[in-house]
Amino acid sequence: MKYFIETYGCQMNKYDSELVAGILEGAGYCPSLRPEDADVILVNTCSVRQHAEQRVLQRLNSFKALKLERPDLKIGVLGCMAQRLGEKILVEKPFIDFVIGPDSYRNILQVLNGVHSEQRESSPKIFLNEYESKETYADVCPVRVRGVNAWVAVMRGCNNYCTYCIVPYVRGRERSRSAQNVIEEIRRLVDEGFVEVTLLGQNVNSYWDGEHDFADLLAMVAKVEGIERVRFATSHPKDLSEKLVRVIAENEKICNHIHLPVQSGSTRILQLMNRHYSREDFLAKVEMIRKYLNPVGLTTDIIVGFPGEEEDDFRQTVELVREVEFDSAFVFKYSPRPGTRAAQFDDMVSAAEKTRRLEEINTLQKEITKSKNRQLIGQRGVILVEGRSKKSETDVMGRLETNKIVVIPNTILPKGKLVEVTIVGADGVTLFGRVNHQN
Ligand code: SF4
């Protein structure tokens, strides 16, 4: 039997697809590169924005024709949308065979055996998470595409209830894997040839296994022999501790890159978002990070057009972006998610105004990114070679520890090697480098 998984959304979802592949391959299923060749099609979905859900619904419709051609084909919806909509998906799209929420993937074989069996009608087709789920999939071996970087989830769920976010409702309460279990997985990754790991969680800063916090875990991972670089995502500003930043500063292998979503520069809006920090708190964290880490890549997420965001609130966000000078920012228009508190707030910002605000911040950030990149020309840095550049077969690309991508034209370098380069150019947001030849 062959399976095909299509994944939408965040890196956690991509990791979850690797877990599902691990469960299926453990039971003898083989991967298929094309849905047309698969016996089982799985769509791992995202609910974070309305647009993401609409894309998935359209995509599901495109699989309907395959189901009509081959009635034995099984189609399953996984992930956050499966958890959020549950039975509604089966009612509205009867060609879908089953839905499984993010903490219930261990049931996938039971579901598949059921839909392949004689008792199809009585077999369960819906497995949703329990709110207090303790699932961490600690004993499941994810199936990864061989490469340089592997993603490793160290915790699941979120307790923060930011008012715009659906994650705590679909992924449940926070729970962490034990540090020992994470280290064992990373040792296996080294044996498989990975040299970089990115530790993943909705809010890694609140990692706690009963004995170790996230700073302890990072320091332990950095000691694993064969690992050259350690990254992590995502940090909540309220939980980013000085201890953690010191651990990053003290360990050469832990990359000086922090993705720190600010979301808004207005304390009033941050309160409405239930973020538990003020504009001043955020700026103090940035100052603390820059006191210990130099250079440091600082990136962020921003939501524009949150309900009640007035021009003055927005200007405060613009000013914060100008003041902090992030290396890059992902800017999103607020998208109401049914079931969240903010979806019931009044005072919606118009679609046109959201677009204007998004474009203003994107234009400003692009200028900042370009200017910061130009300042790097002439400087030396070490890249971890990831492979061929996306744009040219003759160029190689790698990342600085700050997460900036550097392209080295017309060269051949082995994947997974650390190489010292000099930055020789910056074109827009792309940096170009030259290999420093050592004697
Ligand atoms: S910290 Fe806030 S934005 Fe992030 S996953 Fe949790 S609730 Fe969502």
Q: Tell me if 165 CB under 6 Å of ligand 1.
A: yes
In a mutational test of the pocket of ligand 1, which residue from 10, 46, 49, 160 has the highest number of ligand atoms less than 8 Å from its CB? 160
pLDDT at 268 over 80: yes
In angstroms, what is the span from residue 373 Cα to ligand 1's centroid? 30
Check pLDDT > 70 for residue 120.
no
CATH of domain 2-127: 3.40.50.12160
* From 12, 202, 272, 276, mutation site for ligand 1 pocket: most ligand atoms within 8 A of C-beta: 202
Listed by start position, the domains of the chain span: 2-127, 149-375, 380-435
What fold is seen in the domain 380-435? OB fold (Dihydrolipoamide Acetyltransferase, E2P) (2.40.50)
**Equal fold, 149-375 vs 380-435:** no
Number of H helices, E strands in the chain: 13, 19
Please tell me if the CB atom of residue 10 comes closer than 6 angstroms to any atom of ligand 1.
no
Q: Average the pLDDT over 139-159 and give the result.
A: 94
| Residue of 165, 174, 340 to mutate, ligand 1, most atoms within 8 A of C-beta | 165
| Residue located nearest, by CA, to atom 2 of ligand 1 | 162
User: DSSP state, 173?
Assistant: S
Is the distance from CB of 407 to CB of 421 less than 8 angstroms? Answer: no
Question: Using one digit for the tens of pLDDT, what is the confidence trace for 210-259?
Answer: 999 999 999 999 999 999 999 999 999 999 999 999 999 999 999 999 99
- For the CA of 171, the closest atom of ligand 1 is 5
pLDDT confidence bin for 311, thresholds 50/70/90: very high
Q: Is residue 118 predicted with pLDDT exceeding 60?
A: no
Element at 176 (helix H, strand E)? strand 175-176
Q: What is the CATH number of domain 149-375?
A: 3.80.30.20
Rounded to whole angstroms, how far apart are CA atoms 81 and 60? 12
* Cα dihedral value 58, 59, 64, 65, nearest 10: 110
CA of 215 to the centre of ligand 1 (A): 20
